[in-house]
Amino acid sequence: MEGSVPEGVAIVVLGRRAAALARRVQEILPGARVHGPRGRGGPWDESYDRAVPHIAALFAAGRPILGICASGILVRAVAPLVADKQKEPPLVALAADGSAAVPLLGGHHGGNALARHLAEHLRAVAAVTTAEDLRFGLALDEPPPGWHIADPEAAKRVAAALLAGASVALIDETGSADWLRAAPIAWAAEAEARVLVSDRAAAAQTPALVFHPPILALGIGCERECPAGEIADLAYASLAAAGLAPQAVAAVVSVDRKLAEPGIHALAQSLGVPARFFTAQRLLDETPRLTERSAAAYRATGCWGVAEGAALAAAGEGGVLVVAKRKSRGATCAVARAARPIDAQALGRARGALAVVGIGPGDPASRTGEADAALAAATDIVGYGLYLDLLGAAVAAKNLHRGTLGKEEARVRLALDLAAEGRSVALVSSGDAGIYGLAALVFELLDRESRPDWRAVAVNVCPGVSALQAAAARAGAPLGHDFCAISLSDLMTPWQAIEKRLDMAAAGDFVLALYNPRSARRQTRLAQAAAILLRHRAPQTPVFVARNLGRAGESGRLLTLAELAEAELDMLSLVIVGSSRTRRLDGDPPRLYTPRGYFDRAPR
């Protein structure tokens, strides 16, 4: 049993000579991103200033790391952080010529599997050194996906016994232990050291190594908005009464009318398993196997039993009901046992998810970790074509749905429709999705239209670095005190309203961030805005103009308010107009800042 190749690997390179190998490796690793030195201008997905602190930060964050470099560099980078074998992410060194892959840490958490995967595709040597893998071809503390170990410390004791040549018994109560039987191990019928495969709750202080395979399906039915605590209490009590281990649950299952039921998703999250949903017609097929038929359930859902029906549907042919329907005030629960381990991802359908992702100004280094995680988790990416191009390798393996400028509503509708099918969708917006981005349009459509399928989608907004933040950082610190943002586009806001906001913001002495300053159709609006601001601000008020932030051809320049009306600007530009307190600090380059008032306070 080789284990699972980790996703989201950070491929760290030290220079351009490793770029070609890094891109080749990226093609064979799901969701991998190339990290390279900022000062050497390579085709990196993410950039760093100093390699050792960057590697240490990735390791501390739990990211799987593949360093195309000498193993000593990786060792020195993470040495102060090495503490807990159970929590360390994979750390693998790949020779610069691709000839050898050496798992240094996290071998049993994907490191060995990663090294072997690279060796297979690169015709390299996987220098695996963990004793169990070398001798038996498996690691007892790295069972197949979905399996759980009752006590990880027991794995050490049993592995030591096997390596010492002692007899170890294999007791499989479930018929699921093929991966253990396939190993070159002479299992004993009886021995002091034992491996037990069971869906029963393990007794406290048991000396055996207990594996819980994913063979239980936990069916839930409930009233609308039934409290999550009530559902959880019923589920855990049902398992406990039958002596079943929660770690053997493969999925929480129900009818698709309950796709958006918070309590069901909370239960699945607490168990660390997916929530999956079946149509009423599929559950009707299980009617002959139900212990009772509920007229109330039929009226509400179109099937005669939700909890038992869903559990049996998930367990499949050969599955049996091991906990008949149990009830609380507003919920029902049942448990079925499958004949073989359950592939939860193949059951029914998942609740669709829509992540509205702000990707920042364009530079991959400016994207948040949350945004990268949302992109990596998505099956489908919807966005304006330019933004998808900026994402490059980060979305290369995804289903891409390209939109055009000005068709924002169409893109949002498409994203909601895809998510309503049960897909995991990322809707891409530049900057921050909630600041002149697509997040508000998502919620507006949900609010305006009666679409139950849309309402069932789990919507999450992932913040990004906004254009005003990026521009302010390039300028210095002009947003150090109160500020506001105003768009000069009158496509959706009457110009009269924009004029009023400009006048009031200028009178209030706010620093202003002006979006959409000029377009081919709106040639005069910037001059009109400047005239309004000059009623309240001195002509020498400092102004910073940024263009193409985070992209090729980025530029930034300092002006005065008197020069703003005639400045050459377009829709890729953003303008920051200082307040009466904003100061210019001469230097190379000169910087702007707006003091907060630390030195104006009276002594305490």
pLDDT computed for residue 298 by the predictor = 94
Nearest to 78 by CA among 150, 1, 12: 12
Query: Residues 6 or more apart from 538 whose CB is under 8 A from it?
Result: 561, 580
pLDDT computed for residue 552 by the predictor = 75
Strand duo 591-593 + 583-585: pairing: antiparallel
Q: Do residues 328 and 234 make contact, with C-beta atoms less than 8 angstroms apart? A: yes
Strand partners, 384: 403
**Rg (alpha carbons) of the chain, rounded to whole number:** 29
- Cα dist. 302→226, 256, 280, 295 in Å? 19, 11, 6, 9
* Rounded CA separation 159/584 (Å): 67
pLDDT computed for residue 152 by the predictor = 81
Given a cut of 50, the residues of the chain with pLDDT beneath it are 1-2, 131, 134
pLDDT computed for residue 462 by the predictor = 95
Please report where in the chains the tokens 């919507």 appear, as a residue.
459
- Cα dist. 552→165, 362, 364, 390, 549 in Å? 63, 9, 12, 10, 8
Q: 407: which DSSP letter? A: -
Conformation bin of residue 392: beta by default, left when phi > 0, alpha when psi is -120 to 50: left
- Three-state SS for 10-61 is EEEECCHHHHHHHHHHHHHCCCCEEEEEHHHCCCCCEEECCHHHHHHHHHHC
| b/e 115-140 (16+ beta carbons within 10 angstroms → b) | bbbbbeebebebbbebebbeebebbb
Q: Do residues 176 and 145 make contact, with C-beta atoms less than 8 angstroms apart? A: no
* Rounded CA separation 128/131 (Å): 9
pTM of the model: 0.76
Q: Do residues 171 and 197 make contact, with C-beta atoms less than 8 angstroms apart? A: yes
Conformation bin of residue 597: beta by default, left when phi > 0, alpha when psi is -120 to 50: left
* Rounded CA separation 95/286 (Å): 55
pLDDT computed for residue 125 by the predictor = 83
3-state secondary structure of 141: coil
